[in-house]
């Protein structure tokens, strides 16, 4: 949440969540669903097994790598895959994976 003040809308959402018969849970972090589609080849949350280039990289490194793949001539499969995402989606994916793979995984991975 990037909210500086707590908006009435947010409070309504909280209320709804609490009213749920199955108990409340915080909204998933942005980029979670998009980034989960990397896991087929890079492992759950980018932590392998599979192609292990994700874990341990910062968000800015991942962003730079993915945008480079998207714009260079196609050679490997990632050059193709990167073309399937908007730059904004790539940013969300990079931020999520940087926060959930590698060292960060020790506290957030289940």
Partner 1 sequence: MMHTFSRRRFLQLAGAASAVVVLPQTAAAAASTAARVVVVGGGFGGATVAKYLSIWGGGQVAVTLVDPNPSHIACILSNLVVTGALSMDRITLGYSALKGKPGVTVKQGLVTAIDYMRGAVSLGDGTTLPYDHLVLSPGIDFIPAPDGAWDPNLTPHAWQAGAQTLLLKQQLASMRDGDTFVMTVPKSPYRCPPGPYERACMVADYLKRKRLVFAKVVVLDANPGIQAEPLAFGEAFNFIYKGMIEYVPNATVLAVNSKSRSIDTTAGDWSGVRVLNYIPNQRAAAMGPADSPNRGWPVLNAQGFVPVDPLTYGISGYPNVHVIGDACAVPASEGKAVPKSGHMANAEAKVCADAILRTLNNQPLDQNITTNSACFSPITATTASWLSANFNYGDIYDGAGKVKGKGMHRVDLGEAPKTNGDNYRDMFTWAQGLFADSFV
CA atoms within 13 A on the CB side of 4: 0
Q: What track of x and - describes contact with partner 1 for positions 6 through 45 (by CB under 8 A)?
A: -------x--xx-xxxxxxx-xx---xxx-xx-xxxxxx-
Alpha-carbon distance 86 to 93, whole Å?
11
Rg (Cα) of the chain, in Å, rounded?
17
Judged by CB under 8 A, the chain residues 51 through 90 that form the site for partner 1 are 51, 74-75, 77, 80-81, 83-85, 89
Alpha-carbon distance 39 to 48, whole Å?
8
Q: Binding residues for partner 1, per CB under 8 A?
A: 13, 16-17, 19-25, 27-28, 32-34, 36-37, 39-44, 48-51, 74-75, 77, 80-81, 83-85, 89, 92, 110
């Amino acid at each position: 949440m990037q909210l500086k003040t707590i908006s009435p809308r947010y409070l309504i959402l909280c209320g709804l969540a609490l009213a749920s018969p199955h108990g409340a849970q915080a909204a998933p972090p942005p980029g979670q669903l998009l980034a989960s589609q990397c896991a087929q080849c890079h492992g759950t949350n980018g932590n392998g097994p599979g192609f292990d280039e994700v874990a341990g990289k910062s968000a800015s490194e991942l962003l730079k790598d993915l945008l480079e793949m998207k714009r260079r001539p196609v050679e490997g499969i990632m050059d193709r895959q990167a073309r399937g995402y908007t730059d904004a989606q790539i940013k969300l994916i990079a931020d999520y994976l940087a926060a959930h793979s590698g060292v960060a995984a020790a506290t957030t991975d289940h």
